[in-house]
Amino acid sequence: MSHQKRPTVAVLATGGTIAGEAPVAAQTSGYKAGVISVDRLLSAVPELDSVAAIRSEQIAGIDSKDLDDSLWVTLAHRVNVLLAQDDIDGLVIMHGTDTLEETAYWLHLTVASVKPVVLTAAMRPFTALSSDGSLNLLDAVTLAACPDAVARGVLVAFANRIHGARDITKVSTYAVDAFASPESGVLGWVQDRRIEFQRRVTRAHTIKSVFRLNDIDTQNPLPMVQIVVSHAGAVRVIVDALVDAGVRGIVVAGTGNGSIHSTLQQALVSARARSVAVVRSSRVGSGHVMRNGAAPDDMLGLVSAGTLNPYKARVLLMLALSRGWSEPLILQSLFDQY
């Protein structure tokens, strides 16, 4: 490919293990995430030069466990600005693995472009023997530069697999192959600069999303939405405290098919009486939560998250509430579409 014809890919760094540094190469835990600069990460992969012209930006340098809503807003604004430029063909975001699935879904709903947006990450720090970051970065840029990746929503390139933002979840605390897309499966594969898609995303995203960032900025923060877990011995005090603190929405990571401990359920019914939106998801990690299945959603004014995990259900609920949509049946129709 001649250099004139190379696509241009913006590469944004936010931190994570992919930018992690440890004192010795044999160390793969207890390192510091998010310290190596985007330009040093890029210069470790000279092969990128034959794939795309790169424009790099350091957005943050954090361990993604510390991500907050305002960084999401900043990131989504920047992604939208860059993708609106005619000379940018696609975009890659280097991210920590811990909250990657949340950021991917946030962008899936707030990016207003069909151009490819690909997140990637690493399980081993940059300094480690056999670090996975550089190859994941090369795969992500290859995918972002690929015309076939257009209009597929936000993607994740990790360990040679292409995952959809809605489906992906982290399934291992340490393994290099740390992600899966339970129930739906991967969208495809990227290996040795070859890309193969096996299916399309069917739910609404990006340009078909009704969620726009216009009304959301740092002066006008996203509504508070928190996640509570149902488990043996659950008590109501967390829900009551959240309601007193002004929470606008609660996602329950329920047991099984979104069932809720009766003590917690009573607290959530009280929260509903104070206009807090309540969404039932599951802590199981795969499968769907059926409306009116393990709890009487119609009667209690609850919403079922379907196949969205609790962390992504929180993203959708925050965006819906930010648009002023809080009625259970309106929320349910959003959870059925996105």
Nearest one of 287, 240, 238 to 259, comparing CA atoms: 287
Amino acid at 185: G
**Among residue numbers 169 through 228, which ones bind ligand SIN (CB under 6 A)?**
none
Q: What is the dihedral of CA 24, 25, 29, 31, to 10 degrees?
A: 50
Q: Cβ closer to ligand SIN: 31 or 338? A: 31
Residue count at the site for ligand SIN (CB under 6 A)? 12
Q: Which two tokens stand for residue 152?
A: 């597929």
Contact call for residue 102 and ligand SIN (CB under 6 A): no
Q: Name the minimum Å distance from CB 47 to ligand SIN.
A: 22
Rg of the Cα atoms in the chain: 20
| Other residues' Cβ atoms within 10 Å of the Cβ of residue 292 | 12
CB of 33 closer than 8 Å to CB of 123: no
Q: Name the minimum Å distance from CB 98 to ligand SIN.
A: 3
**Among residue numbers 61 through 90, which ones bind ligand SIN (CB under 6 A)?**
63-65
Q: Cβ closer to ligand SIN: 37 or 50? A: 37
Q: Which two tokens stand for residue 257?
A: 């098919």
- Alpha-carbon gap, residue 238 to 243, rounded angstroms: 9
Catalytic residue at 17? yes
CB of 63 closer than 8 Å to CB of 96: yes
Half-sphere exposure of 275 (CA within 13 A, CB side): 6
Q: Name the minimum Å distance from CB 258 to ligand SIN.
A: 27
- Alpha-carbon gap, residue 37 to 128, rounded angstroms: 16
Q: Name the minimum Å distance from CB 205 to ligand SIN.
A: 23
Q: Cβ closer to ligand SIN: 21 or 293? A: 21
Nearest one of 132, 101, 175, 138 to 17, comparing CA atoms: 132
Q: Name the minimum Å distance from CB 202 to ligand SIN.
A: 29
Q: Name the minimum Å distance from CB 48 to ligand SIN.
A: 20
Among 41, 52, 119, 121, binds ligand SIN (CB under 6 A): 121
Q: Name the minimum Å distance from CB 23 to ligand SIN.
A: 17
Among 33, 82, 228, 276, binds ligand SIN (CB under 6 A): 33
Which range touches ligand SIN (CB under 6 A), out of 14-22, 42-50, 242-250, 301-309? 14-22
Which range touches ligand SIN (CB under 6 A), out of 60-68, 129-137, 218-226, 240-248? 60-68
Q: Cβ closer to ligand SIN: 97 or 307? A: 97
Among 104, 107, 123, 195, binds ligand SIN (CB under 6 A): 123
- Paired residues of 13 in beta bridges: 58, 94
- Edge-to-edge strand order for the sheet containing 303-304? 225-229, 249-254, 277-282, 303-304
Contact call for residue 297 and ligand SIN (CB under 6 A): no
- Alpha-carbon gap, residue 36 to 18, rounded angstroms: 8
Contact call for residue 96 and ligand SIN (CB under 6 A): yes
Contact call for residue 276 and ligand SIN (CB under 6 A): no
Helix axes 100-110, 69-83, angle to 10 degrees: 50
Among 17, 110, 127, 255, which one carries the catalytic annotation?
A: 17
Which range touches ligand SIN (CB under 6 A), out of 92-100, 205-213, 296-304, 323-331? 92-100
Q: Which two tokens stand for residue 301?
A: 């004014």
Among 11, 12, 15, 239, binds ligand SIN (CB under 6 A): 15
DSSP labels, 178-217: -EE-TTT--SEEEETTEEEE-----S--GGG-S--GGG-B
Active centre residues (catalytic)? 17
The contact set with ligand SIN (CB under 6 A) reads 15-17, 33, 63-65, 96-98, 121, 123
